[in-house]
Amino acid sequence: MSEALPIKMAESNLEELLNGLPLGASITLIGSEGCPVALLVSLQPGKTKKKQAGNWDDRMDALAQKVSRDWKGEKTAVEVLSEMRR
């Protein structure tokens, strides 16, 4: 997740922005001339409502990321599944 915001907008609700930012996500701050001037990157898990809800899509995305990190086969998981469906 990456977002771009004018500095003036970020000043007024910086704490709220950072609290809702998931780990590793970033916000690019745009200066008055329209150019990027800073990049904020979250170093801790966010407290977003979507993540707390633990809906099906979030759980499946987390599982897919875990499988991708731990995969040790020569073929990708997608290739294996494709072969199994033939």
Q: What is the pLDDT of residue 71?
A: 76
Query: Are the C-beta atoms of residues 44 and 23 closer than 8 Å to each other?
Result: yes
Residues in the chain predicted with pLDDT less than 70, given as ranges, are 1, 46-54
Domains observed in the chain: 1-53 (3.40.1620), 54-86 (no CATH)
Distance of alpha carbon 28 from alpha carbon 39, whole angstroms: 5
Distance of alpha carbon 11 from alpha carbon 55, whole angstroms: 31
Distance of alpha carbon 31 from alpha carbon 20, whole angstroms: 22
